[in-house]
Structure 1
Amino acid sequence: MTFRANQIILSVLLLVSLSCAAEVKHLSLHNVESAPKEPLIVKLNIVEKDARPLKFSLVNQNVESPLQIERINDFMLRLSSPHYIIGEAAIHVFEQSNNRWMQIDSISITTANKPTKSANSPSNINELSTKNASNKQEEPIVIADSLPIGEKECLLARQAKESLWSIASRYKTSLKLDTYSTIIAIYNTNISQFSKRHINLLRNGAILKCPSAEILATLGSKAGMKEEFERLSNLPIN
């Protein structure tokens, strides 16, 4: 084997090694905080094995610009841009490895996303007080701002009256799983949020934690997870 061939093989092995060494396990859009035609502000969910330098850029109208980063906690980042977006846009994610920036993900965003109010804002407090007074049982949108002080957790966003299937369908791509595996991962992480611990009885107003790396490691094949879902669905409700 020639020296040139050895060089090519070593280069390929190095690239494979670098791609496998990515320390970001999960990235997804949590919500868009800014209103349309206002400078973009978004929150991202993030799960990392080990923290490495990251940078983010906004791609919109064929123009790429850097984003400012604010770490909210171990599981969430806030990104901001001086520009507002028009139509379809994406956030490119880069990780530094061996003094090189490598793109590891691309997250689609759009102006169709409406900003989510902080759970502690005065308007939300008034709304909650009104709802409590009238004894309405509407489900709140679960957002990271509602975390207890000092607690650092990643929460799944859940729209009012959204089913487990719908939640799993939204998160399966970012988790790199099929729908059944995502459902089982969410269920196993949040069993206490299901009435009578039954997979078909997700509680009203349930606060759902993101599946941990340990939970994800226990998942089996797609066929196996479908079988497990059907088994859990057919269990009697006691």
Structure 2
Amino acid sequence: MTRIIQISLFSFLLLCAQLLGSSHAYAQITHVSINQQMFGLGDYPKLRVNIVSGHENFDKMQFIVRQSSGDERLMVKPINNFMLLLTGVDDVLDPSARLIVKEYRINQWQLVKTIALFSDEQIAKGFRVKPEAKRQQIQPKTELKTEQAVSAIKKPAKPASAALLAAKTGQGATSVSLTEDDCVLDYDGKQTLWRIGSQYSKEWEVGTYGAILAIFEANPKAFNKGEIGGLRADSVLLCPSLSLREKYRDSAMAKRIYEQL
């Protein structure tokens, strides 16, 4: 009887070891760290991260800003094979905010790493920068030096995402309706564009990138300066028309367009 119990216990321990080993074997993200933080306390999140991962797409990875007001899943753009640009639309007001990195393995989301976004020095700097920026904004234009004014005139403006999207998809003036009549999306100013696109992608039978581009093109006035990362919290989002959703049905094409905006 004792022999049977010992064999059973050994088998149980062996099975546990195999399961633990398999969980590490499925892990694909082997390194992640912040390369450059491009925002301060009180701004919307924008940062570059270094990453070493075996994932071929970003659907298996999540990057989330967690603060006292809630979580926001960030939008991801690849810079190269080992660096990503992460952006969000909700201002980060919590000094103890953290970046949460997750990956999907063994049929569930697993925590990979938690990274603090602000040091004490960064927090102090974040509070100092904003008043200085405001003073510069109200400075009279007449105080600009002549050389600076001439340089500003000659310097070509960088096209906003909305204009770039129109150029890439060949959509200048068009008679095609971009929105559905009497239809608005479920948006209360708190969700990210990624979250809204993910919510409606299944209903529209398009990928998340396609849904995001359709929403963006159908609601140009809902985005600050025509930038896809500048969704306004006070906007009413109209439903993109069927023809507009069909335009972005090719998920691979939609992803390429999004990454170039």
TM over 0.5: no
Q: TM-score range by the shorter chain?
A: 0.3 to 0.5
Structure with the higher fraction of residues in helix conformation: 2
> Which structure has the greater CA radius of gyration?
2
Per the normalisation by structure 1, the TM-score is 0.41
